[in-house]
A = this chain, B = another copy of it.
């Protein structure tokens, strides 16, 4: 397990606390080392703000056993593990009970795409899962939570890239991305998107989602081959005066 990845995952845990997404210990970030076949995650019940690289718990992707670390891993570890297995393209996951996103989850409503902040991250609504069945709740609950998230993405014809978070009904958001830092960014954006949508619908309860073309314009200017947001690959075409 590389020192760098540990550092990045510890930083992701602290970042969600700094961003105001975490109350008490309701939140965790993880990352995955695909080659080693393990994920690294926050210990259970320990505040995100104080997580250092050596606090993280290493868990095997294949069978979930703790392979390194003296703490018990987050109770949500099976959810993370399932998602890493189902979504091979992702490298980091963030779970929180952040206020606005969780209130949509508790309301059991998907978040409609009402604006361009939303479109920068999601190509369509932010999906909400179905309620878990009783057998799922009383069985391997956290594992089943992961299964329901993956099912939600797939049954709506979405992908982990264009739907980088799902609201688990009556629970809260799980967000992901190619790296732990990218998952943090989605979690932060999602909380802002959820707040905007709540406030917008109070002002205009029948407001319809934005046009698909506007949705695509914003999503595509940040994602994919034609992206022109950010600094990647930029060569200044002008010249100093």
Q: Enumerate chain A interface residues (CB-CB to B < 8 A).
A: 1, 23-24, 26, 36, 43-46, 57-60, 65-72, 75, 97, 99-100, 102-109, 114-117, 120, 131-132, 134, 137-138, 141, 170-172, 185, 188-189, 192, 195-204, 207, 210-211, 213-214, 217, 221, 228-231, 234, 236-241
For residue A63, give the distance in angstroms from its CB to the closest CB of chain B: 10
For residue A91, give the distance in angstroms from its CB to the closest CB of chain B: 19
B217–A138 touching, CB < 8 Å:
yes
Chain B residues contacting A65 (CB-CB under 8 Å) are: 237-238
CA distance A229 to B24 in the complex (A): 13
**A240 touching B45 in the complex, CB below 8 Å, given contacts A103-B199, A103-B200, A211-B134:** no
For residue A173, give the distance in angstroms from its CB to the closest CB of chain B: 12
A241–B204 touching, CB < 8 Å:
no
For residue A106, give the distance in angstroms from its CB to the closest CB of chain B: 4
CA distance A213 to B138 in the complex (A): 7
Query: Would you give 13 A-B contacts (Cβ < 8 Å), ordered by A?
Result: A23-B188, A24-B192, A44-B234, A45-B231, A67-B238, A72-B230, A75-B229, A99-B195, A106-B200, A108-B204, A108-B207, A116-B171, A138-B217
